[in-house]
A and B are shown apart, each in its own frame.
Chain A
Amino acid sequence: MLAAVLAGVAAVLVLSVVVGMVRPRRYATVEQFYLAARAVPPLRNGAAISSEYTSAAACLGLAGLIATHGSQMLWYPVGAAAGFVVLLALVVAPLRRSGTYTLSDFAQWRFGSSGLRRLTTCTVLVIGLVYLVAQFHAAGVVLRLLTGLPAWGGWLAVAVPAVGIALAGGMRSVTRVQATQFWLKLVVFTGCALVLWCTWRCLAAPEPLRVAGFAGPYEGAGTLAGAGDPSLPGILTVLLACALGTMGLPHIVVRVYANPDGRSARRSIVAAQVLLGVFFLVPPLYGILGRVHVPDAHSDEVVLLLPSMMLPGAAGNVLTGLLAAGAFAAFLATSCGVLVAVGGAVSSCVSRVSVTSFRVAVAVVAVAALGMAALTSPGSSVLLVLVGFSLSAATFCPLLVLGIWWRRLTAAGVVAGFVVGGGLTLTLVYADLVGLKAGLAAAYPAAFSVPAAFVAMVVTSLVTRGRVPGNVDALMARMHWPEDRSSRQDARSSF
């Protein structure tokens, strides 16, 4: 099995680096670096978006959570895909038409405030680090399980190639790497799921499908600030966080910029929705198989333990190797996307924009994430990622929705919303981590912090109504007017 696993992981790493390095380009300016991605067609960009979204949490964690926490977790894939419909309806086309690259750029463009830019960059950094740490820990868990190597080997096996791809090529090569990795993940995870499912239903003693019978979680199945809670309010809170949090994930929003106009950006999101809809049919299959065959495993290990438990011998080894390759494609895709997005936001905030500062920022963010991985112990990747969703839903969701559709939003309102929503979420998660009893709010943080953030933004904006940006009508026209209806000159002259 060791040989199959190492071969699978090595193949993915080599494939990613090679695809990323094909026709490397030298970019003189940051604009060229980012604009190189403009020629990406919707289907490929949709595959890249799906690739960034199907991280360790979606590929391994969801299935593991269904196995360890019970059938109520079958709602999580439903919520994970729902966020894209909300993103499509409310955010995508206006955000693309605004012409801003990162969430921080959007905040500065919309409100003309560099203080606000720093605040949003800090939030982007926190969400990005949460995502990176989840990927690194999952990689460590997987590598230790399959090969016996220490966990930090897995962290480095993800961090080093991800930094390399991000530094070498810019947006275009990252897009190509991610689209390739998505197809790999889709084929591997779907194919192995079908083989294992058929093995269980046809070859093994066919037992009745007792899906409804495994309703409860195992003893000691952990929760983190409401995530993993099988009660109805817990499920609804997580679904709300997923639906509203997707739009604020920095690595997803950056992808929108890779399309030439608002219309093709919408089409990319619809393509991603269809691809994700197919992909999210798979975790429930692994979850049910895991519940039957590998009880009491760590939730991120369940998927990779299944082949050797169900098919001893060469077939099991080959499937394990394939799944390990798919898992590393997932770690790499998300890490790469997060590094590019967070690196872009951080570098343009702390210094004059240049390719060098972007590269330094990417390296620093990666090292920070490695440090945080070393200081924490691995939990379930899904629970960690859901903290990122809650934070995003309580900060960037109100910023984007109100900033795009409500012209009276002010910078002071956004700051108030970020402090209330983000502060409340982080406080509740911290209280839950240290075991402080914060009552109902700590059990369902998103249900409290998201409405609170919206209320804080609206009320503060109404109080500071004199500070609505003077050019707000021009900004609204830029976001909502279809590109092909106004000439380039008009779009420019509105500033």
Chain B
Amino acid sequence: MKRVTVERRPAPVGRVVLERAADPHGHDPLSVARVKAAQLRQALATVAVVLGVLVGLPLLVAALDGPTGWAVLTLAAQPLWMAIAVWQLRRAERLER
């Protein structure tokens, strides 16, 4: 079992405080700041993909000027969201291992 000690300091501005994870088992130390940064990178990548699809698909359809098959695209988006969600879940869980 790892212990996290969280220091209380009077608000150091602009500096991230690294919590040292005392590590009795010799695994590589996992600090809150590092976990948070890794999770944030992953989350922003996922959100970027979602916003890209959300803005890109209607723009693409508008640019192609109405091929009859575009309505099918709106149905295909649902499996796409599921796939992105599963990908995000797996990546986020891996980052916490």
Q: List the interface of chain A (C-beta within 8 A of B).
A: 71, 74-75, 77-79, 81-82, 84-86, 88-90, 93, 211-212, 215, 232, 235-236, 239-240, 243, 263, 266-267, 269-270, 273-274, 277-278, 280-281, 284, 405, 407-408, 465-466, 468-474, 476-477, 480-482, 485-487, 490, 493-494
Q: Is the CB of B74 within 8 A of A75?
A: yes
Closest Cβ–Cβ distance, residue B87 to chain A (whole Å): 10
Q: What residues on B are CB-neighbors of A82 within 8 Å?
A: 50, 53-54, 77, 81
Q: List the interface of chain B (C-beta within 8 A of A).
A: 1-11, 13-14, 16-17, 19, 30, 32, 35-36, 39-40, 42-44, 46-47, 50-51, 53-55, 57-59, 62, 66-68, 70-71, 74-75, 77-79, 81-82, 84-86, 88-89, 92-93, 96
Which of B7, B47, B51, B54 interacts with A473 by CB under 8 Å? B7
Q: Is the CB of B88 within 8 A of A212?
A: no
Closest Cβ–Cβ distance, residue A272 to chain B (whole Å): 9
Q: A277-B79, A277-B82 are in contact. Are A465 and B71 (CB under 8 A)?
A: no
Q: A78 to B89: give the CA distance in the assembly, Å.
A: 20
Q: What residues on A are CB-neighbors of B16 within 8 Å?
A: 407
Residue of A89, A235, A236, A470 with highest tally of chain B CB at under 10 A: A89
Q: What residues on A are CB-neighbors of B43 within 8 Å?
A: 89-90, 405
Q: What residues on A are CB-neighbors of B40 within 8 Å?
A: 405
Q: Is the CB of A90 within 8 A of B50?
A: no
Majority DSSP secondary structure for residues of B touching A: helix
Which of B9, B36, B71, B84 interacts with A405 by CB under 8 Å? B36
Q: List 17 A-B contacts (CB under 8 A).
A: A74-B74, A81-B78, A81-B81, A85-B46, A85-B81, A85-B88, A86-B46, A89-B88, A89-B92, A212-B71, A267-B89, A270-B85, A405-B36, A472-B11, A473-B17, A473-B32, A474-B8
Closest Cβ–Cβ distance, residue B96 to chain A (whole Å): 4
Q: What residues on B are CB-neighbors of A280 within 8 Å?
A: 78
Q: What residues on A are CB-neighbors of B68 within 8 Å?
A: 211-212
Majority DSSP secondary structure for residues of A touching B: helix
Q: What residues on B are CB-neighbors of A493 within 8 Å?
A: 6
Closest Cβ–Cβ distance, residue B18 to chain A (whole Å): 9
Q: A86-B47, A470-B11 are in contact. Are A284 and B74 (CB under 8 A)?
A: yes
The residue in chain B whose Cβ has the minimal distance to the Cβ of A484 is B96
Closest Cβ–Cβ distance, residue A230 to chain B (whole Å): 11
The residue in chain A whose Cβ has the minimal distance to the Cβ of B78 is A277
Which of B3, B9, B74 interacts with A486 by CB under 8 Å? B3
Q: Is the CB of B70 within 8 A of A212?
A: yes
Which of A71, A407, A477 interacts with B4 by CB under 8 Å? A477
Q: Is the CB of A485 within 8 A of B54?
A: no
Q: Is the CB of A232 within 8 A of B75?
A: no
The residue in chain A whose Cβ has the minimal distance to the Cβ of B93 is A263
Q: Is the CB of B17 within 8 A of A243?
A: no
Q: Is the CB of A482 within 8 A of B96?
A: yes
The residue in chain A whose Cβ has the minimal distance to the Cβ of B40 is A405
Q: A474-B6, A476-B32, A481-B35 are in contact. Are A236 and B58 (CB under 8 A)?
A: yes
